[in-house]
Amino acid sequence: MKGGNSYSFRGKHVSLALVALVLFTTLLWTWERNPIAMTLRSAQEWYHMPSESPENQDVKSSSGSEVCNYAKGKWVADSRRPLYSGFGCKQWLSPMWACRMTQRPDFSFEGYRWQPENCKMQEFDRSKFLRKMQDKTIAFIGDSLGRQQFQSLMCMASGGEESPEVQNVGWEYGLVKPRGAIRPDGWAYRFPKTNTTILYYWSASLCDLVPLNITDKQTNVAMHLDRPPAFMRRFLPRFDVLVLNTGHHWNRGKLNANRWVMHVNGKANEDKKIAEIPNAKNLTIYNVAKWLDLQLVSHPRLKAFFRTISPRHFFNGDWNTGGSCDNTIPLTNGSEVIQEGSSDPIIEGALKGTKIKILDITAISQLRDEAHMSRYTIRGTLNSSDCLHWCLPGIPDMWNELLVAQL
């Protein structure tokens, strides 16, 4: 009898298990048919849900409540600066910008770093940077200030040390010096260990420039305000990071000296309003931003930045009328930026509603009038001053720190 009772008890358990299984199957079937469940499942199948690791989040403020505003903050003294040696980085620095090689007597401007408001920005580490940029290409396209930023990043990535292993790959991008030219249209170098390429292409206006008569060296050049440079259109698919800039070539003297003739819609511009320099510049910037934003749809891995204009500091005149920047005392006009908007409203306006990030350096750099080339050169001291370009090491290093922080 005991055996029969045991068998009956087990049978009840089996029956209960079968009922539970049927109920669970029914509920599961009902849930699968539920539209809410279908929506949740399809979202997970179609979209990669980012993890909560720091690499997938915006850089937060120290309080953790705000996205970091890199353009607000202050300059602070830092004995660990500069990031590389002005003597050691001869491989990448143009002699005219390597202030340590000039007659300049004071270098206190090198001992500062930018601290964004309420944000902790990691110290630049060249090894980490190159690992992060493994198999990637960083491109700078712009004027001579863009070239300074490019040279700065080369020095930062190499630690300002002689790096014979770094390969010149300019030929891959057509960046070779033409016969009779002073220099090529740009440079491209590759760090072989991480396959990281850093390049620069000279395009001061960000317009497509096309000679009207290729057989005549003195020919006028069509300056297509509504067409990005051919170089950018051709090589954009190869870029992982793109930094654009323009600004200081937008004046009548530069246009006339370069024989640039404004073109719109494929023909010489006849609109007097567009022909005004500020309007032509704005048209170009807005067109480039619009074109690039459309390209980002088909190049989702590309991170695009537009750097705001680098400020000039000519006092008591301009570059050609005796203007100078002889101050050598850092931060005489303050150390802090507290404003909300950019000091370059044209770039800021052009990027609104796009996926292009603003690299806002104008107000930050405005505080550093003592860090320009001034009147010092390798050969001696001049009567004229360069209050447009910066000493390297110097302010462009900070631009790159902000760039790297946003990658």
Using pLDDT thresholds of 50, 70 and 90, give the confidence band for residue 207.
very high
380: left (phi over 0), alpha (psi -120 to 50) or beta: left
Tell me the pTM: 0.83
- Report which of 158, 202, 159, 211 is spatially closest to residue 177, judged by C-alpha positions: 202
Residue 185: CB atoms within 10 Å: 18
- Look at residue 6 in the predicted model and tell me its pLDDT: 44
Q: What's the mean pLDDT in 41-48?
A: 30
Q: Which value, to the nearest 10 degrees, does the dihedral of the CA atoms of residues 94, 106, 143, 360 take?
A: 140
> Which burial class, exposed, middle or buried, applies to 281 when counting CB atoms under 10 A from its CB (0-12, 13-18, 19+)?
buried
Residue 309: which pLDDT band, with cuts at 50, 70 and 90?
very high
In this predicted model, what pLDDT tens digit does every residue of 69-125 receive, in sequence order? Answer: 899 999 999 999 999 999 999 999 999 999 999 999 999 999 999 999 988 888 999
Helix axis angle for 2-33 and 35-46, nearest 10°, is 70
The 3-state DSSP class for residue 344 equals coil
pLDDT at 139 over 90: yes
Rg of the chain on CA atoms, in Å: 29
280 vs 380 pLDDT, higher one: 280
Q: Are 361 and 307 in contact (CB under 8 A)?
A: yes
Residue 184 preceded by cis peptide, ω within 30: no
Q: Sheet of 167-168: strands edge to edge?
A: 167-168, 186-191, 196-202, 137-142, 241-244, 303-307, 357-359
Query: Out of 33-37, 176-180, 246-250, 340-344, which region has the weakest mean confidence (pLDDT)?
Result: 33-37
Task: Report d(CA 121, CA 205) in Å as an integer.
Answer: 32
φ/ψ of residue 303, rounded to 5: -105, 115
Q: Do 308 and 359 touch, CB atoms closer than 8 A?
A: yes
- Check if the beta carbon of residue 215 is closer than 8 Å to that of residue 223: no
Asked if 104 contacts 379 with a C-beta cutoff of 8 angstroms, the reply is no
Weakest mean pLDDT among 52-61, 226-235, 333-342: 52-61
Name every residue whose Cβ is closer than 8 Å to that of residue 363 and which is 6 or more positions away in sequence.
71, 337, 339, 342, 343
How far is Cα of residue 124 from the mean position of the Cα atoms in its chain? 15
pLDDT band, residue 58 (cuts 50/70/90): very low
| Cα 280 to Cα 271: distance, rounded to the nearest angstrom | 10
Rounded to the nearest 10 degrees, what angle do helices 395-405 and 144-158 cross at?
70
Cα dihedral value 196, 200, 205, 207, nearest 10: -60
Share of residues in the chain with pLDDT > 70 (%)? 84
Identify which has the larger pLDDT, 213 or 30: 213
Per DSSP, helices labelled H in 117-186 are 126-132, 144-158
Supply the pLDDT for residue 17.
52
d(CA 230, CA 400): 25
3-class SS of residue 357: strand
Q: Which residues contact 285 (CB under 8 A, 6 or more apart)?
A: 206, 246, 306, 346, 347, 350
Distance CA 309, CA 246 (A): 7
> How many C-alpha atoms does 163 have within 13 Å on its Cβ side?
19
The answer to whether 95 touches 360, Cβ cutoff 8 Å, is no
Cα separation, 100 vs 89, in Å, equals 10
C-alpha dist (Å) from residue 187 to 92, 201, 244, 297: 10, 7, 15, 28
